[in-house]
Amino acid sequence: MMELYDLGRTTHKAVKGMYEFIISNIDKYVSDKGLAEKLKEEAKNREVKGHSIPQEYFSAMCGVWTMAYRTGDFPIDLETTIFPDTIPRFKRVKANGRRIGILTSASRDFTDILYGLPTGENQRLSDLVDEYFLGQDIGDKDFPETFAGLWERTKGGIYAVFDDKLSVCRAAREGLNQAGGKSKIYLVDRKWQYTEEVLEELAEKGIIRVRNFGEVQD
């Protein structure tokens, strides 16, 4: 069985200055003026309630961040970007005999940068990961059919899904239910921000809210 983990704001903090970099530097990396303006707009709207950056635009942003990181224009402190409870959680999952999948809208190149964090002698965070499920390959995580497809792809091997977005947790529950899956769905709410109305909805749908991985019971 496998546990699927989102990256941004779930296993890792948002990379410091990532969207500001897009707004200020996009013209240097994207020659298509129309696309550059759209990426700026999406970066500016990222915190608007209910807004989710479409997969195609986020993939383009990942290309910019990756290129800029490799040239030294966009340094990333890998050690401070990961949440401190991520590695202990991953080790516990492994000890319990389950596999780890990374379910992310990010590109593989950008994910490899963040999961390249050294965790010991000749060891990296990526050594704990068994498989990557990328949005550009599997589809947008806001759509239930994406999770129904994942259930089929893993032959019913999804034990749990962890994500910080309510919309993704809703889609996961609906899609997995459609496929006949009974996986656990965890909303990782590190800011502890949702209303009582939302909490009632979570309870009705069997979505478990946790503040961090230390609150996960298994």
Cβ-Cβ contacts under 8 Å for 22 (sequence gap 6 or more): 39, 40, 43, 61, 64
Instruction: Give the amino acid at 174.
Output: E
CB 45 within 8 A of CB 201: no
**Residue 61 sits in the same domain as residue 130:** no
Neighbouring CB atoms inside 10 A of 205's CB total 14
**Residue 59 sits in the same domain as residue 152:** no
Residue 52: pLDDT band (50, 70, 90) is confident
**Residue 92 sits in the same domain as residue 171:** yes
Range list of H helices, 115-165: 135-138, 144-153
CB 162 within 8 A of CB 10: yes
Q: What is the mean pLDDT of residues 207-218?
A: 95
Question: Residue 24 has what pLDDT?
Answer: 97
pLDDT tens for residues 80-135? 999 999 999 999 999 999 999 999 999 999 999 999 999 988 999 999 999 999 98
**Residue 144 sits in the same domain as residue 205:** yes
Q: What is the mean pLDDT of residues 178-192?
A: 95
Q: Which of 29-33, 110-114, 147-151, 190-194 has the lowest mean pLDDT?
A: 190-194
The chain-wide mean pLDDT, for the chain, equals 95
Q: Quote the percentage of the chain above a pLDDT of 70.
A: 100
Tokens for 115, please give them: 């999961």
Domain boundary among 48, 71, 94: 71
This prediction has a pTM of: 0.92
Smallest CA-to-CA distance from 125 within 180, 154, 83 is with 83
**Residue 92 sits in the same domain as residue 122:** yes
Residue 46: pLDDT band (50, 70, 90) is confident
**Residue 24 sits in the same domain as residue 126:** no
**For the chain, what is the domain count?**
2
**Residue 151 sits in the same domain as residue 198:** yes
Cβ-Cβ contacts under 8 Å for 123 (sequence gap 6 or more): none
Question: Residue 193 has what pLDDT?
Answer: 86
Domain range holding 26? 18-71
